[in-house]
Amino acid sequence: MRRLAFRLALLLAVPAALVDPVAAQPPPPTSAASPPATVDQPPGVVAAAGAAVDRFVHPLTGRQVSGTLPAARSAILEREGREERELPEKILDHLGLKPGDVVADVGAGIGWYTRRLARRIGPDGKVLAVDVQQGMLDQLVERMRAEGVTNVFPILGDVADPKLPAGEVDWILLVDVYHEFADPIPMLERLRASLEPGTGRVALVEYRGERLLDTMDPIPDDHKMTVEDVLVEWGAAGFELETLYGFLPHQHFFVMKPKEPPVN
């Protein structure tokens, strides 16, 4: 019943062509004045969702969000040495993913983590690849098609809503993306609502903002986060820390879970 409900919710959230992204065909050209409906974008959705939003300052921590990496600069996501520096397979080892899981890769970009997730959960699992830029999703679909990946479902979210089905997601993966959330308070509320009740978890990875621990080549301050800032912002959004891993050389790796409701 759970998977049937998920299937129906997904079909309502994204165009039917996304059910088989490998087989989907590109749309006919349209005028530049009206963003076209593509295999990743239903009619009426603006391609650059949330692109022109003032940089938010979090009221609890004073943290200013960073800008979003433009799709035109997506090559940096596949940069040489990233795998050795960020240890993606070791991160995924700690999630305990199972065949058939539903995983949301939020801020999926061009699919650097998406394809790894797709392999781990198998053909019966589903990776919901969420991004707010149509240009990123276009590249992701091309890559998944070229690699023969058929269990990835691209979703064009917006800055306040990832457009995920409620109560159906086993894991949400956020790698070096939370600091870019232009409207993080409603976004976290909707992420929490998408998790499978009782078992759903969030894997959150961010570059370390503590200056004493910062030994890597320079990263802009607004692209880093301290443990304190994460716990304050996520705690206010109804999450609590389950595990904080320290094995990454330059990043924090948190596992967050929704707080249990108070017992009356």
Tokens, residue 168: 């159906």
The CA R_g of the chain, rounded to the nearest whole Å, is 18
3-state secondary structure of 165: coil
How far is Cα 100 from Cα 8, in angstroms, rounded to an integer?
A: 17
How far is Cα 174 from Cα 262, in angstroms, rounded to an integer?
A: 27
* Res. 62: pLDDT tops 80: yes
Tokens, residue 38: 């593509």
How far is Cα 75 from Cα 69, in angstroms, rounded to an integer?
A: 11
Long-range contacts of 67-75 (CB under 8 A, 24+ apart): 67/180, 68/132, 68/133, 68/180, 68/182, 69/109, 69/180, 70/133, 70/135, 71/133, 71/134, 71/135, 71/136, 71/138, 71/139, 72/135, 74/109, 74/110, 74/135, 74/136, 74/139
The pTM for the full model equals 0.77
How far is Cα 250 from Cα 214, in angstroms, rounded to an integer?
A: 7
pLDDT tens column, 195-223: 999 999 999 999 998 865 545 556 777 78
What is the pLDDT at residue 103? Answer: 98
pLDDT tens column, 70-92: 666 666 666 676 777 789 999 99
3-state secondary structure of 172: strand
pLDDT tens column, 116-152: 999 999 999 999 999 999 999 999 999 999 999 999 9
Q: How many residues does the structure list for the chain? A: 264
How far is Cα 243 from Cα 225, in angstroms, rounded to an integer?
A: 17
Mean pLDDT of 142-169: 96
* Residues in contact with 233: Cβ distance below 8 Å, sequence separation at least 6, in sequence order: 58, 60, 61, 63, 184, 188
Q: Among the CATH numbers 3.90.550.10, 3.40.50.150, 3.20.20.80, 3.30.300.210, which is that of 2-15+56-258?
A: 3.40.50.150
**Strand 171-175 to 102-106 pairing:** parallel
In the chain, pLDDT over 70 holds for what percent of residues? 71
Q: Rounded to whole angstroms, what are the CA distances from 30 to 37, 38, 39, 156, 217?
A: 9, 10, 14, 19, 44
Q: Which of the two residues, 219 and 33, has the higher pLDDT score?
A: 219
What is the pLDDT at residue 134? Answer: 95
User: How far is Cα of residue 257 from the mean position of the Cα atoms in its chain?
Assistant: 16
Output the CA angle 34-35-38, nearest 5 degrees.
Answer: 140
Q: Which helix (H) or strand (E) holds 193?
A: helix 184-194
